[in-house]
Structure 1
Amino acid sequence: MAEILPDYSGEWRFDPTHTRIGFSTRHAMVTKVRGAFNDFEGAIHVNAENPEQSSVRMTIKVASIDTRNEDRDQHLRTNEFFDAPQFPQITFSSNRVDQVDDGHFMVGGDVTIRGVTKEIAIPLDFIGVERDPMGNLRAGFEGSRRIDRQDFGLTWNAALDSGGVLISDKITLEFEISAVKVEEPAA
């Protein structure tokens, strides 16, 4: 008997315990600093018949930034960087989803950081779908995108003796998403 494929259409919610929304950048021009945001919500609306009618939205709590150094995290929350008290959230809302080829998508939309909204495109790879031991239908996506932090008003820096700067303007956003399908209970 042939296996029945699950219907991927519908709402999917990010599973925060199995999803990483992170970033990396050069520090002192010689090493990388990596971090993540630990408090976020995200959802994907999938239209399997017409992927271009799918959508993605995400809200990140800036205060949840975690670079494994509390002093640095506190500095990143100040008005020299994210200004978490005035701009407590980073948001993304897609305005298009293009299927590039099998399992590869370009998700375009508006990201707002520190009150500045810019359109970006994020390449996402579809990793697969599995039913987990609790019966949830779970999908995986991965992707990354470089942005210039100055485009969003994140301009603080410090000069180095060599003529370089302490923090690179180029930031790599990193997405490792585990999404669970919102399924109606069986009647």
Structure 2
Amino acid sequence: MTVAVETGTWQLDSSASTVAVRHKTFWGLMTVKGTFDAVTGHGEVRSDGSAVGTITLDATSLDTRSAKRDEHLRSADFFDAAHHPEITFSVRSAELRDGDGVHIVGQLTVRGISRPKTFTARLVGADTESLTLDAEFTVDRDQFGMGWNQLGMMRGLTTVAGTLRFTRTAAA
């Protein structure tokens, strides 16, 4: 797909966007999956074609379909949502490369700890009024102070996957 994304400001369509996580637990025998129900964001496409923006997740909105597990994930062992209610990804640069590949350089902040993150997303749809990106990357929980690992059950990286749909906002 070769497209030119319109310059201007873009708002995340929360109802058409999803951000999910998955992590192997129980010594790699089971995969825990969850979805953040509250996702917001915005961005700006500049005249040179690059983009900047922010995606924000409500840490208390993670739903793994287990109330007890969700409560534990919100606790100080993991997200510490009482003190750090938001998870943010600040896009420093997003550039369309190689057809539908979008090279993204940004900063992920979890529990008040920020780390650089670079990955390639895929532009799966775009027209003058909307664009949709698919992205997937891994995160090392230990880098964000989430080292809880009772009996060594939770090793490895957590995968974050998202489908983000943005709509163009009217010029002021």
- Equivalent runs, 1:94-133 vs 2, <5 Å: 94-130=91-127
When the two structures are aligned, how many residues end up with a matched partner?
A: 169
Aligned pair partner of 2:157 in 157, 160, 170: 170
Deviation, 1:184, is 4.3
Query: In the alignment, is the contact (CA less than 8 A) between 1:150 and 1:169 conserved in 2?
Result: no
Aligned pair partner of 1:139 in 128, 131, 139: 131
1:180 aligned residue: 167
- Structure 2 residue runs without a partner (length 5+): none
One-letter amino acid matched to 1:120: K
Query: In the alignment, is the contact (CA less than 8 A) between 2:7 and 2:49 conserved in 1?
Result: no
Deviation, 1:40, is 2.0
RMSD across aligned positions (CA): 1.9
2:21 aligned residue: 23
- Structure 1 residue runs without a partner (length 5+): 132-136, 160-164
CA distance in 1, matches of 2:9, 2:49: 13
Post-superposition, which runs of at least 4 consecutive aligned residues in structure 1 deviate over 4 A?
Answer: none
1:152 aligned residue: 144
Deviation, 1:125, is 0.6
CA distance in 1, matches of 2:18, 2:167: 14
Aligned-residue identity in percent: 24
One-letter amino acid matched to 1:122: F
**1:7 to 1:176, Cα distance in 2 relative to 1, 3 A:** closer
